[in-house]
Amino acid sequence: MSRFEALLDAFFYRPDEDVSGLLDFAVGSDGLAPRVLEEEPTEYLAFRLETECYAVPILTVREICKVPLLTEIPRAEPQLLGVMNLRGELLPVYDVKLRLRLSEVPPLVAGPDAGLPPKAARILVLKTQDGPAGVWVDSVAGVVRLKPSMVELSPAGLRGDRDCVAGLGRKGSQLYILLDPEQALAP
Amino acid sequence: MTQHGSKALAEFVAEATEILDALGRDLLALDEARDQEADPERINGIFRAAHSLKGLSGLFGQERITQLAHAAEDLLDRLRLGRLTLDDQVLDALVDALDTFQSLLGETSRGEEGEDLTRRTRAMEERLARMGSPAPPAEEDPLERLELDAQVRAVFTEYEEHRLRENVRRGVALWRVRAAFDLTDFDQGLADLNARLKPLGEVISTLPSSRPGGATGIAFDLIFGAKVTAPELEAGLQGTPAELAPLTVHPSREDPSATDEAASVPPPEAVGPGPGVTPRTKRGGKKKGTRARPLALEAGPSQPLLPADTGATGRDAPSETSSGAPGLVAVPTAANGGPPRMRAVGGPPSTALGLQSAASAPLPAGRPRPEETSLRSLTQTVRVDIGRLDGLINMVGELLLIKANLQRLAEASRQDGTVALSKLFGQELSRETRQLERKLEALQEGLLEARMVPVGQVFDKLARLVRRIAREAGKEIDFVSTGGEVELDKLIVEELSDPLMHLIRNAIDHGAEGPEARLSEGKPRRAVVRLRAEQKGNHVLISVSDDGSGIDEARVREVALSRGLVTSSQVSEMTRRELLNLIFLPGFSTRSSVSALSGRGVGLDVVKNNLGNLSGIIDVWSERGKGTAFHLTLPVTLAIVRALVVGVSGRTYAVPLNSVLEILAVQPHDIRTVERREVLDLRGQTLPFLRLGRLFHLPEREVNRHFVVVVGLAQQRLGIAVDELFGQQDIVTKPLGGRLSGVKGISGATDLGNRRTVLVLDVAELLEEGIAQERRRA
C-alpha cells in the first residue's frame, strides 16, 4: 500500500471507527449525526483464550474471580474442569477451549497433580439458564463497547461442532469473537 | 412481578395451603365416618375453612379461588343448616372441589391462569350449586315438641335453630343454663362456663337472659344439649354461678305409646319453659294441623310426609313459626335467599354408597379426569414452634458471650505478644473453645429439629388420594396409616410424597384384587392398604403394604426375559428375592393391560431413583396370595450428616457414615476373583469388592494394603476399597445441582473447613453400580 493509498484510506469513514468526538463536533451541521448516535453500543467483556480474543455480553457475567482450588469430578465430561466453592456456593467450572478446538486435551488444573494456575488466569462466573457456571479464561482483557454495526453475524458452523460463536465484533484493528455462553456450555 | 408482589403471593400460597390442609383433614375424617352421622362441629369447621379461604383469596385478588370458595361455602352453609344431607355425592363433590382448589393454588403459585382449569373451576362451581338432595324425611318438626319461649326462639339464628332441632330429634336432654356474672369480668366467666360445658355436651345458643343480672351484672341463658345425666352435669358445673333448668321435650307424635296417651288424655294448655312434666299432645295435635295446611298446598295428599326440616328453611318457615307461636313474625336471619335455593334442591335421593358403589357411579360429565398432580407442597415454608426458636436465640446469645471471651483472650495475647503465654492462658483458651464446640453442637441440633416435620403431613394427602384411586380402579380399599407422628427432615418428607404416591397406586392397581375375586379366595371383601412409619435409630422405615394377590415371580421372570432385561442363564441362578427385585429395573411392568393409574412401565425404577437421591433404599417383600410390602429406609435428615473422610489416589472423598457398616484392612492377596470379578471373603460371606480409584478412572497407586469401607443399605452390601482413612467429620452436603445433576456416584460436595471442596459419595448409586457389575458379569 503506497503512502497515498494509506492517506486515502484514513480519509474514508469506516463503520467500526470511533468517531464520536468528530460527530459531537459536527452536531447540527448535517442530518447524519443524530442517526448514528441513536445506535446504542452494547458492552462486552473481552478475554483471551490461548492467543485469540473473545467476548461475551457483560450482562451475562455475574462476577470474575481468581482461580480457586478446583475439585475434579470423576467420570465427568472432559470440558468440565471441576467444581469450585465460591463463598459457600458450589459452581461447576468449564473449559471452552476444547469445544472451540483451541486445544486437544483438557488442561490439568484440578486434583492433586495440578500445578498452580497461571497468574493471569481467571474464572468468569456466567449466568446461564441452568444456573451459574464458571468458565476458565487465560486472562481478562477488559470491557469493550460494540455498536450493532460493528458486529457481523458469523456464518453458521464457523468452528466447533456447535454454533457457540455468535458473531464477530470489530473495533479498530482488534477482532473480538463473540461467544454464545449458552451454546458454549451446553452439555 | 415486583419483589413485593411475589412475596405477598408466597404468603398467600403458604396460608391458603394451610387452610386447604385443614380442609383436607376434616374432609378425610368425614369420609372415614361415612356411615355415621357427621359431627356438626366438623362440618362447621369445614364451612369456616371455606369461608376464610374465600376471604383470603379475595384479599389477594385471586378471582377464581374466591368464586369457587364462595360456591363451596354456599354448599357447606346448606349442609350445616341441615338443608342438605351429607351423602356420598356431596362428599365426593367436596373432595373434588378440594382437588380443584389445589390445582388452582398450584397455578397461582406459578403465576399462571390456564384456560382448562378456569373451565374446570366453572364446572365445579355449577356442580356445587346443583348439588343437594332434600334432607331425610322427618316425621314432624321436632322443634315443635320443645317447650321454649316464643321470644327466645325468635332470636335464634338459623344455625342455632337447626342445631336445636337436631338435638330434639335425637332426644338429647336439653337444659337451660342460666348464669349471672359481674359486668367487669363476664367475658371470662362466660368463657370459663363454656369450657366446662363443652365436654359435657353441645352449647347450642348463648342468649342474654331476660332476668336482670343486678346493677353491675349481666345474666345469660345458655341452651345446652347434654350428653351426660343430670347429676353428672350438676357435678360438672360445681362452683360456677350456673343454674340448671331442664327444657321439656314432648315425645314424638309417632311414638306409639305417646300417641296412645295423646288420644286418651286431653292436653292442658302449657306454653313456655319450665320444670315439670307437661303432657304432650296438645301441641302435637296443633302441629299436625299446621303441617297439613302447607303440605296440601304444595305436594298434595299423595306425599303426606314431606320433610319438615326442609320446610323450615324455605317458605314454610314463617307459616310454621307463626302458627306454632302466635304473634311471632321474626324470621331467622339466614333464611334470606332460602326459596331460590330450595328450587335448586332436587337431586336424587340420598343413598348409602360405599367406596365400591361410588366407584361404579359415573363421574359427572364436564369434569376432566384429574391430571397427575404431584403431592409436593407448593411452598417451601416450615412452621416452627416459637419455643424452639427461642431456644435457638438463647444459644446464639451464649455463643456471643463465648465470642466476647475469646476476643478478650486474643486481645490479651496480642498485647503481651513478646511474653511467653502462661499455662493458665492456655487452659482458659481451651475451656472457651470446648464451650464453643458444645454450644455449636446444640445450635446445630436445634436447627435440625426445626427442619423436622411429621410424615403425617404426607400421609394425610395420600389418604385422600387413596379414595380417588380406589374409586377409579373400582376396588374396595381400607386405608390404614400409622406412625404419622414420626419426624423427618422437611426436605425428605417433600421428596417422599411422589414415590409413596406411586407405591400406593401400585398397591391399589396391581396389588389389591376386586371384591369378587377376594371373596372367592376367602378373603374379606375389602382390601387393606397399609402405610406405616417407624423410627429405627438413625433411620426411618416406611412401608407400604397390601393384602392382595402378591407378586407372581414366575410372571416376573417371564416378563424380564421377554423384555431382554436379563438372560435365561442369569435367571436360572436367581433366588426368589433377586427375582422380585427385577421389578425395579427400568422398563418393567407386568400388567398386560395398561391402566390409567400405573403400568406405564416407568414406575418402580423411578421410585427407586427418587429414593436413591434421598440416600434411601427400597426393598420388596411379597408372598403369593398374601400380599406385597415395600420397605423404604431413609435417613432422618440430609442437612448435616457424619461422614467418613477417605483418600484415593491423593483425592479426598466423604462417605456418609449412616451407610458404613464396618471398615476392614485388606492385604492385596486377600482379594479373590470369582469369574473375573473381585470379591472379598467376609466371615464366610462373599462381599462384592469395588476399587474406587478404578471406578473413577484415577491413576492407580501401588499400595501394600487396602482399606475397605463396607457399605450397606437394606440387604445389599459392597466393599469399597480406598487408600487412606482420614477420620470422621460432620458435613453439610451441598447438592451438585442443576448443571451437574447427571454426575453418577456423587451426591454432593462439602467443605471440610480447609476451604477445599470435597465430594460426597452417593452410596446408593455405588451399590447400584457394584451390583449391576455383578449382574453383568454373572
Taking CB atoms and an 8 Å cutoff, what residues of chain B touch A88? Answer: 734, 751
> What distance in Å separates the CA atoms of residue A90 and residue A88, rounded to the nearest whole number?
6
State the pLDDT confidence band at A143, using cuts at 50, 70 and 90.
very high
Choose between B220 and B446: higher pLDDT. B446
Position B326 scores a pLDDT of: 42
Task: Give the strands of the sheet with B217-226, arranged side by side.
Answer: B201-208, B217-226, B173-182, B242-247
* pLDDT digits 0-9 by tens, B587-599: 676 544 444 344 4
Position B291 scores a pLDDT of: 41
> Which of B584, B608, B635 is the last residue in one of the domains?
B635
Position A15 scores a pLDDT of: 66
Closest CB to B650: pick one of A68, A90, A112: A112
- Could you tell me if A27 and A110 lie in one domain? no
Position B655 scores a pLDDT of: 92
- Could you tell me if A119 and A142 lie in one domain? yes
Choose between A52 and B464: higher pLDDT. A52
Q: Count how many Cα atoms sit within 13 Å of the Cα of residue B598 in the half-sphere of its side chain.
A: 26
Q: Minimal Cα–Cα distance from A142 to chain B, Å?
A: 28
Taking CB atoms and an 8 Å cutoff, what residues of chain B touch A187? Answer: 739, 742
- Could you tell me if B422 and B544 lie in one domain? no
Q: How far is CA B347 from CA B335, B492, B656, in A?
A: 21, 45, 61
Q: Is the pLDDT of residue A9 over 90?
A: no
B757 touches chain A (CB under 8 A): yes
Q: Is the pLDDT of residue A62 over 90?
A: yes
> Which of B344, B374, B409 is the last residue in one of the domains?
B344
Position B164 scores a pLDDT of: 77
> Which of B100, B134, B168 is the last residue in one of the domains?
B134
Taking CB atoms and an 8 Å cutoff, what residues of chain A touch B650? Answer: 111-113
Q: Is B609 exposed, middle or buried (0-12, 13-18, 19+ CB in 10 A)?
A: middle
Mutation pick from B645, B757, B762 vs chain A, by most beta carbons of A within 10 Å, is B757
- Could you tell me if A31 and A53 lie in one domain? no
Q: How far is CA B34 from CA B27, B31, B39, in A?
A: 10, 5, 11
Q: In sequence order, what E strands does B650-764 have?
A: 651-656, 660-666, 672-674, 677-682, 685-691, 706-713, 716-722, 724-732, 734-735, 746-751, 757-761
Closest CB to A74: pick one of B698, B734, B739: B698
Taking CB atoms and an 8 Å cutoff, what residues of chain A touch B748? Answer: 90
Q: Minimal Cα–Cα distance from A83 to chain B, Å?
A: 8
Residue B375 in any domain: the answer is: no
As for the ipTM of the complex, it is 0.74
B755 touches chain A (CB under 8 A): yes
Lowest-confidence region among B278-287, B700-709, B767-776: B278-287
Position A43 scores a pLDDT of: 92
Domain count, chain A: 2
- Could you tell me if A13 and A88 lie in one domain? no
Q: Is B509 exposed, middle or buried (0-12, 13-18, 19+ CB in 10 A)?
A: buried
- Sign of the four-CA dihedral B650, B656, B657, B660: negative
The one-character DSSP state at B146 is: B
Strand-pairing partners, residue A91, are: A84
Q: Is B607 exposed, middle or buried (0-12, 13-18, 19+ CB in 10 A)?
A: buried
Residue B317 in any domain: the answer is: yes
The one-character DSSP state at A168 is: E
- Read off the pLDDT of each residue in B566-587 and give the average, rounded to a whole number: 77
Q: Which residues 6+ apart lie within 8 Å of A32 measured at CB?
A: none
Taking CB atoms and an 8 Å cutoff, what residues of chain B touch A130? Answer: 738-739
Q: Which residues 6+ apart lie within 8 Å of B34 measured at CB?
A: B88, B91, B354
CATH (domain of B690)? 2.40.50.180
- Could you tell me if B461 and B446 lie in one domain? no
- What are the percentages of helix, strand and coil residues in chain B, rounded to 5? 50, 20, 30
Taking CB atoms and an 8 Å cutoff, what residues of chain A touch B751? Answer: 85, 88
Position B741 scores a pLDDT of: 75
> What distance in Å separates the CA atoms of residue B141 and residue B289, rounded to the nearest whole number?
12
> What distance in Å separates the CA atoms of residue B170 and residue A101, rounded to the nearest whole number?
88
What stretch of H or E contains B491?
Answer: helix B490-506
User: Is B739's CB within 8 Å of A112's CB?
Assistant: no
- Could you tell me if A22 and A70 lie in one domain? no
> What distance in Å separates the CA atoms of residue B743 and residue A82, rounded to the nearest whole number?
12
- Read off the pLDDT of each residue in B698-713 and give the average, rounded to a whole number: 83
Give the three cell numbers for residue B184.
367487669
Position A144 scores a pLDDT of: 92
Q: How far is CA B226 from CA B177, B245, B248, in A?
A: 11, 12, 13
Residue B368 in any domain: the answer is: no
What stretch of H or E contains B160?
Answer: helix B158-169
Alpha-helix runs per DSSP H in A100-171? none
Position A44 scores a pLDDT of: 93
Highest mean pLDDT among A166-180, B501-515, B607-621, B676-690: A166-180
- Could you tell me if B283 and B320 lie in one domain? yes
- Could you tell me if B182 and B306 lie in one domain? yes
> What distance in Å separates the CA atoms of residue B582 and residue B584, rounded to the nearest whole number?
5
- Could you tell me if A127 and A173 lie in one domain? yes
User: Is B740's CB within 8 Å of A83's CB?
Assistant: yes
Q: Minimal Cα–Cα distance from A161 to chain B, Å?
A: 20
- Read off the pLDDT of each residue in B36-63 and give the average, rounded to a whole number: 80
Q: Is the pLDDT of residue A147 over 60?
A: yes
- Could you tell me if B425 and B557 lie in one domain? no
Tell me which residues of chain B, numbers 668 to 727, contact chain A at a CB-CB cutoff of 8 Å.
Answer: 695-699
DSSP 3-state of A61: strand
Position B13 scores a pLDDT of: 84
Length of chain B: 778
Tell me which residues of chain A, numbers 64 to 93, contact chain B at a CB-CB cutoff of 8 Å.
Answer: 68-69, 71-76, 80, 83-85, 88, 90, 92
Highest mean pLDDT among B395-404, B684-693, B702-711: B395-404
State the pLDDT confidence band at A57, using cuts at 50, 70 and 90.
very high
Domain count, chain B: 5
Choose between B602 and B11: higher pLDDT. B11
Residue B374 in any domain: the answer is: no
Q: Is the pLDDT of residue A63 over 90?
A: yes
- Could you tell me if B199 and B78 lie in one domain? no
Position B145 scores a pLDDT of: 66
User: Is B743's CB within 8 Å of A75's CB?
Assistant: yes
Choose between A52 and A154: higher pLDDT. A52
- Could you tell me if A55 and A118 lie in one domain? yes
Q: Minimal Cα–Cα distance from A101 to chain B, Å?
A: 22
The C-alpha angle with vertex B72 and arms to B70 and B77, in degrees rounded to 5, equals 95
* pLDDT digits 0-9 by tens, B411-428: 888 877 655 667 888 888
Q: Is the pLDDT of residue B69 over 50?
A: yes
DSSP tally for chain B: helices H, then strands E = 26, 23
For residue B749, the chain A residue with the least C-alpha distance is: A90
Closest CB to B738: pick one of A68, A84, A130: A130
- Could you tell me if B746 and B694 lie in one domain? yes
> What distance in Å separates the CA atoms of residue A18 and residue A172, rounded to the nearest whole number?
8
CATH (domain of A156)? 2.40.50.180
Q: Count how many Cα atoms sit within 13 Å of the Cα of residue B140 in the half-sphere of its side chain.
A: 23
Taking CB atoms and an 8 Å cutoff, what residues of chain A touch B693? Answer: none
The one-character DSSP state at B61 is: T
User: Is B695's CB within 8 Å of A187's CB?
Assistant: no
Position B774 scores a pLDDT of: 56
- Could you tell me if A98 and A152 lie in one domain? yes
User: Is A75's CB within 8 Å of B742's CB?
Assistant: no
User: Is B736's CB within 8 Å of A187's CB?
Assistant: no
Lowest-confidence region among A8-17, B283-292, B696-705: B283-292
Structural domain that includes position A18 = 3-38
For residue A85, the chain B residue with the least C-alpha distance is: B757
Do B579 and B603 meet the contact criterion of CB atoms below 8 Å apart?
A: no
- Sign of the four-CA dihedral B434, B439, B440, B441: positive
For residue A71, the chain B residue with the least C-alpha distance is: B757
Q: Minimal Cα–Cα distance from A88 to chain B, Å?
A: 8
- Could you tell me if A168 and A98 lie in one domain? yes
Choose between B378 and A78: higher pLDDT. A78
- Read off the pLDDT of each residue in B17-46 and give the average, rounded to a whole number: 78
User: Is A133's CB within 8 Å of B739's CB?
Assistant: yes
- Could you tell me if B555 and B656 lie in one domain? no
Structural domain that includes position B518 = 455-635
Position B356 scores a pLDDT of: 36
- Could you tell me if A77 and A22 lie in one domain? no
Position B308 scores a pLDDT of: 42
Lowest-confidence region among B364-378, B602-616, B679-693, B716-730: B364-378
Residue reference for cell 406412625? B483
Mutation pick from A85, A130, A185 vs chain B, by most beta carbons of B within 10 Å, is A85
Choose between A22 and A117: higher pLDDT. A117
Position A69 scores a pLDDT of: 86
Position B388 scores a pLDDT of: 83
Mutation pick from B692, B696, B697, B740 vs chain A, by most beta carbons of A within 10 Å, is B740
Q: Is the pLDDT of residue A55 over 90?
A: yes
- Could you tell me if B434 and B461 lie in one domain? no
Closest CB to B758: pick one of A71, A131, A185: A71
- Could you tell me if A88 and A168 lie in one domain? yes
- Could you tell me if B127 and B245 lie in one domain? no
Residue B367 in any domain: the answer is: no
> What distance in Å separates the CA atoms of residue B700 and residue B679, rounded to the nearest whole number?
19
Residue B314 in any domain: the answer is: yes
What stretch of H or E contains B344?
Answer: helix B338-344
Taking CB atoms and an 8 Å cutoff, what residues of chain B touch A83? Answer: 736, 740, 749, 757, 759
Choose between B351 and B409: higher pLDDT. B409
- Could you tell me if A145 and A93 lie in one domain? yes
Mean pLDDT of chain B: 73
User: Is B757's CB within 8 Å of A83's CB?
Assistant: yes
User: Is A85's CB within 8 Å of B751's CB?
Assistant: yes
Strand-pairing partners, residue B618, are: B632
> How many contacts (CB atoms, under 8 Å) link A and B?
70
B522 touches chain A (CB under 8 A): no
- Could you tell me if B405 and B460 lie in one domain? no
Taking CB atoms and an 8 Å cutoff, what residues of chain A touch B734? Answer: 88, 90
* pLDDT digits 0-9 by tens, A41-53: 889 999 999 888 9
Residue B310 in any domain: the answer is: yes
- Read off the pLDDT of each residue in B183-196 and give the average, rounded to a whole number: 79
What percent of chain B is predicted at pLDDT more than 70? 73
* pLDDT digits 0-9 by tens, B107-156: 888 877 888 888 888 888 888 887 765 555 444 566 666 666 666 666 77
- Could you tell me if B54 and B170 lie in one domain? no
Task: Give the strands of the sheet with B539-546, arranged side by side.
Answer: B477-482, B527-536, B539-546, B627-635, B617-623
